[in-house]
Amino acid sequence: MSTTAFVALGTSLPPREETLASARRALAALPYARGSLRASPVYETTPVGPAENPFLNQVVALEVDLDAPARLLCDLLEIEAAHGRTRAIHWGDRTLDLDLLFFGARVNDDPACVLPHPRLHERDFVLVPLCDLDPELVHPRLKRPVRDLLAGLATPRTILRQL
């Protein structure tokens, strides 16, 4: 059974563009990935929290033959580690951040793998590239399309430019 997973990619440490490209290749090479990966444009964004460097952010849609999202989440963490990710400072600069946003319409409250991602509806650096891929995608908890979630954001925008 094929499921569409949406994954957010972010990096604030050089070489940013190469890191995103390498992460996309790693995602497409997962043994359960099917078809081609769809990727949004890349956006440069201001950091949120203690990070000092601008981020590059992107969202990809990946068709996977998996019944449960835990395997994908585990592989995302391994891809991050392979790119030198450390978790020394919460919301600090990082080589690579991969967040599982959606796994089909799955809703999951397991603290190890909350779905949809619990803060995606608050983040323009996630919603803008997500809308590039599928503006009509409905958030399964909020029952609203992501384009409406983006339009309803009250927080200042973090996006500096599209690359």
**pLDDT (tens digit, 9 = 90+) per residue, 27-76?**
999 999 998 899 999 999 998 778 789 999 999 999 999 988 999 999 99
110 in active site: no
**pLDDT (tens digit, 9 = 90+) per residue, 104-127?**
999 999 998 999 999 999 999 999
Q: Is the pTM of this model over 0.75?
A: yes
Residue 91 token pair = 């919301």
Residue 21 neighbours by CB under 8 Å, 6+ apart:
none
Phi, psi of 15 (to 5 degrees): -90, 105
75 in active site: no
Domain coordinates in residue numbering, the chain: 3-116+158-162
CATH level 2 (architecture), domain 3-116+158-162: 2-Layer Sandwich (3.30)
Average per-residue pLDDT for the chain: 92
147 in active site: no
**What span, in angstroms and rounded, lies between the C-alpha atoms of 90 and 87?**
7
93 in active site: no
The confidence score (pLDDT) of residue 88 equals 66
Residue 116 token pair = 């949809």
Q: Which of 16, 75, 94, 123 is an active site residue? A: 94
